[in-house]
Amino acid sequence: MELHRGELVPSFETPARVEHILAAFARAGWAVETPGEYDDAVLARVHDADYLAFLRGAYEAWQAEGRDGYMIPGAFPACGMRRDRVPDNLHARLGYYTFDAGSPIVAGTWRAARAAAHCALGAADVVAAGARSAYALCRPPGHHAGRAVFGGYCFLNNAALAAQRLRDAGLARVAVLDVDYHHGNGTQDIFWERDDVLVVSLHGDPNTEYPFYLGYADERGAGAGTGFNLNLPLPRGTDWAGYSHALEQAFARIAVFAPQALVVSLGVDTFQDDPISGFALSTSDFLRLGERIAAAGLPTLLVQEGGYAVAEIGDNVAGVLAAFVA
């Protein structure tokens, strides 16, 4: 369940999403591998240690207080309040480490988030070893998770972990292209001051779309990272004509950066029938999207993010990947 516009409703980010993606891969005859396990130390390459410790122990602490069900925050350190100390109170800690009330922590959250991160890391290792491309079927998604904050169904930033993994494997420059409907605020946060990872995001204009408080065109990075963050916000109703125009701007910037690899935060919630989003891409547009990404000619790691039109998610994801399977 999630708190959505003031009501507790079934979560849009459901296990069935994975089943539909796997079914589409089976229809296409594509093999799927299970990733290996990684030490938690690798998670600290992009996340703060205190944040990881909180996530790891949050639900046990909740149960130790005699509670069960969903951990949903009710208080946040907003404008004018203290962020320089983390309170002892568990509810306060919960609010400290998140930015919305729509991403409950449940008994399996840490295990699932960790497994999703392992999927992305495993796929990064495949690309680092020389593969043309790999796809990580991550659930829960990751791009809203910042260095020390969760939200938007995201707890560990799978794409950021993968990009960092490629850097740690010796690739000098890695580009992240985020095509999820929502701005990848977590990925932007993590690489904000860095010039070795370019972050480019196409998304619904945050003036009207979640996550609202980040993702505007004037956010360009800071310090050494100035100019290495590019936001391309687009209005509700954007179709392939408008989308593909912005995509060309994205690839023009990526070409100047000349990365050794590309990480794609692949949300398919840009689909016309997505229940929580406002773009108008069709299933055949996802074929075009995949072709354009593949045409960049870069070693490419695609990481699953959002996409909530469950019946169509398999065909939409497989459509993007088709260009890489030829």
Ordered DSSP codes for 75-89:
----TTS--SS--SS
Is the Cβ of residue 96 or residue 155 nearer to ligand Q9C in the bound state?
155
Is the Cβ of residue 171 or residue 303 nearer to ligand Q9C in the bound state?
303
**Among positions 2, 274, 312, 315, the unique one binding ligand Q9C when judged by CB under 6 A:** 2
Quick check: 93 binds ligand Q9C (CB under 6 A)?
no
Segment contacting ligand Q9C by CB under 6 A, of 61-69, 151-159, 217-225, 226-234? 151-159
Specify burial of residue 54 (Cβ count, 10 A radius: 0-12, 13-18, 19+): buried
Is the Cβ of residue 35 or residue 211 nearer to ligand Q9C in the bound state?
211
Quick check: 306 binds ligand Q9C (CB under 6 A)?
yes
- Dihedral of CA 164/54/4/216: which sign? negative
| Residue pointed to by tokens 């954007």 | 238
**Count of residues binding ligand Q9C (CB under 6 A)?**
18
Quick check: 146 binds ligand Q9C (CB under 6 A)?
no
Catalytic residue numbers read 144
Beta bridge partners of 199: 176, 229
259 binds, among Zn ion, ligand Q9C, none (CB under 5 to 8 A by kind): none
Is the Cβ of residue 285 or residue 305 nearer to ligand Q9C in the bound state?
305
Residue 237 and residue 251 in contact, taking contact as beta carbons nearer than 8 Å: no
**Among positions 20, 118, 182, 203, the unique one binding ligand Q9C when judged by CB under 6 A:** 182
Quick check: 210 binds ligand Q9C (CB under 6 A)?
yes
Ordered DSSP codes for 86-101:
--SSHHHHHHHTBS-S
Give the span between the Cα atoms of 5 and 1, in whole angstroms: 13
Half-sphere exposure of 158 (CA within 13 A, CB side): 32
State the residues that interact with ligand Q9C by CB under 6 A: 2-4, 100, 102, 141, 144, 152-154, 180, 182, 210, 267, 269, 276, 305-306
